Amino acid sequence: MTTRTERNEEKQKEIIREENREIRKKIVLTSLKVIVILIIVSLSFFLYTTYISSKLITVKEERITNEKIPESFDGLKIIQISDIHYGSTILIEDIQNLVTKINRRNPDLVVFTGDLIDENYKINSQEQERLIKQLKKISSTIGKYAIMGEEDSNTTFTTIMNQSDFTILNNDYELIYKNSNNPILLIGISSSINKNSDINNAYRYFNEPTHNSNIYTITLIHEPDIVDEITPSYQTDLFLAGHSHNGQIALPYIGGLIRKQGAQNYINEFYQLDSSQLYISSGIGTTGSGFRLFCRPSINFFRLSSK
């Protein structure tokens, strides 16, 4: 026969066991809640960075003022697009949206600074025709120009851009006129990563006997780091570059985090280089991880002014 003390001890043990069961139950429930929250947060982060942040194309507008710009070019509108990487996070519906955003601004010049098709994507002939059809719809009052990036296949790129009414400026230049005999100079340089760049040939205008040494010059480059090879020898007023995607993942007050070959020194949106300005597009598509954070895809929209 058990004593009262033994019965009390057994009762206390039972109470402790019940308390322990309740504690374990709370731990399990809390752990499950934490796991569910982590799954929801991770899934939301993935969906946002891959399917929302990478799709929300923004328009970045800048006014470029320089006394070298002829008065006839006052108010000239330039649209820069870059790094479409078709087949990454960008498909034909996104191109349609892109074309609509461009045409709403009624640009005078449209420039593309490289990487049209993603290197890991095999575009078929039907898609290629659809892409050409959309890019051909891009309107401009003066012209559309393009250079090649390191991921651009010469044959595919040339076919698509030529049939879309883009003039390819690979290590070449063109004088741009608007309602007067005073032009601006547009230069295009091919990808330096593929060792296709030829700076001296691209800038050969300045070696011609009739050249204007004070002409306002815009240079299209894919990899921004090539400016360090150009500026010691040639004067450019405005560089428009791509490739870096502005880091694709950026933090406030810090800037882009992912640096690539060809964009080690220059990665963010803007740099003042003595008398030259360098603007770098965040691109339209994505590379690598395929997601963006605090770095939305963009169209760069410039207005020129001589005053």
Judged by DSSP in three states, 154 sits in helix
**What span, in angstroms and rounded, lies between the C-alpha atoms of 263 and 225?**
5
Return the pLDDT at 16.
Answer: 74
Q: What is the mean pLDDT of residues 115-141?
A: 96
Average pLDDT of the residues of the chain: 89
The whole-number average pLDDT for the span 148-161 is 94
Q: Residue 90: how many CA atoms within 13 Å on its side-chain side?
A: 27
Pairing of strands 270-273, 143-146: unpaired
pTM: 0.85
Q: What are the tokens at 37?
A: 């929250």
> Residue 234's pLDDT is what?
96
Dump pLDDT digits (tens) for 91-100: 999 999 999 9
Give the whole-number percent of the chain exceeding pLDDT 90.
72
Do the beta carbons of residue 258 and residue 243 sit within 8 Å?
Answer: no
Each residue's pLDDT tens digit, 26-74: 777 677 666 655 554 445 445 444 555 456 899 999 999 999 999 999 9
How many CA atoms within 13 Å lie on the side-chain side of 151?
24
